[in-house]
């Protein structure tokens, strides 16, 4: 279901920002169903985890900003799902961790790669080796999330913050948002000289757009720009 939703979003030009959240109180995503996993043969586990990894990669490669709103547990594959988003916000009561080594396996949905990229290699190793679970405040202090909020009575404090962020993103030029994300994502994987060349190539994509001209005109006319993603 998640895979189909991601496929639909990929091709929907009207989508400007995506928030990944759960409507289950107290749980963002609890990770793999271990009872289901126990029934799988050894030959089934690898392909199943590969499908999950591919789906999480699809989320990471979505062309618009993505925000994970973590209002509860995000464990194992659940945290890997959040790590694939551009920005993570969480309630202070949320619990986050890559706990796979407790089960004598390793994170298989990108966790061994995205966690060190997010918080640094040494800390990522410590968290994966210990299978430690962090609360919202601890996750904020290590840089795993960008914002931490006291949970509200409705249990959706992180989601509300994610909506506030999305509203900040919405007025900007859609083409610019897409290529800014591309420039950052690709640039992080290469040396600075190559990264600057990627930025130049991405910037070039904004020059011939109608939106760029609309932005300049709106500034001149002292009005809000009306961007169309063209």
199 is catalytic: no
136 is catalytic: no
* Catalytic option among 31, 68, 76, 80: 80
The residue written with tokens 């994610």 in the block is 162
CA distance 110 to 53: 6
Task: Say which residues have a Cβ less than 8 Å from residue 66's Cβ, sequence separation at least 6.
Answer: 17, 18, 19, 20, 59, 84, 85, 86, 87
Residue 82 sits at φ, ψ, to 5 deg, of -65, -35
* Catalytic option among 31, 72, 76, 77: 77
26 is catalytic: no
CA distance 26 to 203: 42
78 is catalytic: no
Neighbours of 179 (CB within 10 A): 21
* Catalytic option among 100, 111, 139, 215: 100
How far, in Å, are 36, 41, 48, 209 from residue 44 at the CA level? 11, 5, 6, 48
* Catalytic option among 30, 31, 32, 91: 32
The set of catalytic residues is 32, 77, 80, 100
């Amino acid at each position: 279901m998640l895979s189909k939703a991601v496929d639909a979003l990929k091709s929907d030009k009207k989508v400007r920002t995506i928030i990944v959240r759960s409507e289950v109180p107290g749980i963002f995503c609890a990770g793999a169903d271990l009872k289901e996993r126990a029934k799988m043969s050894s030959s089934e586990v690898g392909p199943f985890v590969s499908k999950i990894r591919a789906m999480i990669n699809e989320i990471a490669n979505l062309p618009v900003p993505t925000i994970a709103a973590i209002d509860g547990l995000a464990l194992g594959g659940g945290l890997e799902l959040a790590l694939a988003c551009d920005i993570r916000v969480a309630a202070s009561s949320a619990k986050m961790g890559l706990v796979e080594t407790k089960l004598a396996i390793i994170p298989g949905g990108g966790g061994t790669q995205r966690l060190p990229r997010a918080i640094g290699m040494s800390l990522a190793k410590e968290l994966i080796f210990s299978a430690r679970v962090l609360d919202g405040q601890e996750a904020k202090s290590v840089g795993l999330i960008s914002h931490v909020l006291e949970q509200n009575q409705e249990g959706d404090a992180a989601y509300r913050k994610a909506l506030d962020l999305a509203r900040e993103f919405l007025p900007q030029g859609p083409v610019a948002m897409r290529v800014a994300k591309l420039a950052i994502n690709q640039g992080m994987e290469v040396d600075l000289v190559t990264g600057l060349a990627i930025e130049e190539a991405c910037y070039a994509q904004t020059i011939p757009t109608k939106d760029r001209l609309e932005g300049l005109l709106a500034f001149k006319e002292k009005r809000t720009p009306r961007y169309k993603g063209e």
